[in-house]
Amino acid sequence: MSTPVVVVHADQQSLAEAVAAKLVTRIAEAQAQRGSASIVVTGGGVGTAVLAALNGARNRGSVDWRRLDVWWGDERFLPAGDPERNETGARQALLDHVDLDPSRVHAMPATDGPDGDDAEAAAGRYAAELAAAARAEGADGGAGLPTFDVLMLGVGPDAHVASLFPKMFDPSEERTVVPVHDSPKPPPTRISLTMSAIRTAREVWILAAGESKAQAVGLGLSPAADPLEAPVAGARGAEQTLFLLDAAAAGGLPPGVAGSDAP
C-alpha cells in the first residue's frame, strides 16, 4: 500500500486542468508499456470537471483512445440517460467527444437494463464484466479485477468515496461490486466498487476542491482515522496514492502532512 502524496493547486479549474494533463501522460505511458490502458472515473463536480478538461487538453492527442478501457467507481442507479447518472455526465464531458471503442466503455448497469431495478443483480453483472476483463487480460490473480492504471475518486464532506459511506459498508467485503441502499447522498440506490477492489488499482487519485472538503481530506490523510468512519482514509493505490487538491480543500491537512504546491 502506498503512502499518500499531496499536491495543491490554486483553484478547481487549475486542479482539473493539471489532473487532465497528468492523466494523458499516465494513459500514454501505460499504452506504451502494455499496449492498452485502463482508467476508473468518478462522478461528482471535480471528477466531471477533470473529464471536461481532458476533452480540451492540449496533450490529449498522445492518447490512443481506441486502446483505453473506461470503468466507473460508482453509479447512481437510475435509468440510462438520466442526467443524474455519472455515466451521463462523463459522456457529455468527454466520452462522446473522443474515438473510444464502445466495447471498452464499461458503464455500470441502469434501472432499465437487463436486471431492471434489482441493484443486487446489477452489481453482480458488473462484477462479472470485470471478471471477464481480468480473464481476457490473462493477469487475474483471482481477484476478478483487470488492471486499473488510474482510479479517480471524488470525496464527500462526510469523507465518503465512490458510494462507500461512513459506517455503511463492510471494509472486508470480498465482492468487487456491491449494491448500496439508503445512501445519504441522493439518489438512495447506487452501485459501487468495494474498498478491496479500489485498493487493487495501481494509482488512486483522490480529487477534492472547496472548503467543504477540507475536513474530509484531513481525515483521509490522518494515520489515526478509521476507514469505516472516513472511507477516504482507506482509499489507497497499490503503487501510488495522490491527493490532488485545490487550496481550499487543503485547508485542514493534519500536522506533519505537507502539500507541495503545483508549479
What character string, x for contact with ligand 6PG (CB under 6 A) and - otherwise, covers 110-129?
A: --------------------
Q: How far is CA 237 from CA 77, 126, 190, in A?
A: 26, 21, 23
C-beta of 176: minimal distance to ligand 6PG in Å? 17
Hunting for cell 488512486 — which residue is that? 204
Question: Is 85 an interacting residue with respect to ligand 6PG (CB under 6 A)?
Answer: no
Adjacency order of strands within the sheet including 260-261: 105-106, 68-72, 37-41, 150-154, 203-208, 240-246, 4-9, 260-261
Question: Is 91 an interacting residue with respect to ligand 6PG (CB under 6 A)?
Answer: no
Single residue of 4, 89, 109, 154 touching ligand 6PG by CB under 6 A: 154
**Nearest residue to 208 (alpha-carbon basis) of 192, 190, 224, 232:** 232
Nearer residue to ligand 6PG within complex by CB, 4 or 154 = 154
C-beta of 263: minimal distance to ligand 6PG in Å? 24
Single residue of 15, 37, 38, 47 touching ligand 6PG by CB under 6 A: 47
Q: Where does 116-183 show beta strands of DSSP type E?
A: 150-154, 177-180
Single residue of 18, 26, 41, 44 touching ligand 6PG by CB under 6 A: 44
Question: Is 206 an interacting residue with respect to ligand 6PG (CB under 6 A)?
Answer: no
Q: Taking CB under 6 A as the criterion, which residues in 222-251 touch ligand 6PG?
A: none
Nearer residue to ligand 6PG within complex by CB, 52 or 161 = 161
Binding span for ligand 6PG by CB under 6 A among 8-16, 38-46, 217-225, 249-257: 38-46
Question: Is 42 an interacting residue with respect to ligand 6PG (CB under 6 A)?
Answer: yes
C-beta of 2: minimal distance to ligand 6PG in Å? 21
Q: How many residues bind ligand 6PG (CB under 6 A)?
A: 16
Single residue of 9, 22, 26, 76 touching ligand 6PG by CB under 6 A: 76
d(CA 87, CA 73): 11
Binding span for ligand 6PG by CB under 6 A among 30-38, 105-113, 156-164, 228-236: 156-164
Long-range contacts of 249-254 (CB under 8 A, 24+ apart): 249/208, 249/209, 249/210, 249/211, 249/213, 249/214, 249/217, 250/6, 250/8, 250/214, 250/217, 251/211, 251/214, 252/214, 252/215, 252/217, 252/218, 253/6, 253/217, 253/218, 253/221, 254/218, 254/221, 254/222
Nearer residue to ligand 6PG within complex by CB, 11 or 101 = 11
Examine residue 254 and say whether the peptide bond preceding it is cis (omega within 30 degrees of 0): no
Single residue of 30, 46, 94, 235 touching ligand 6PG by CB under 6 A: 46
Per DSSP, the three-state class of 19 is: helix
Question: Is 74 an interacting residue with respect to ligand 6PG (CB under 6 A)?
Answer: yes
Length of the chain measured in residues: 263
Position 199: which residue type? Answer: R
Which residues are at the interface with ligand 6PG (CB under 6 A)?
42-47, 74, 76, 86, 154-156, 160-162, 185
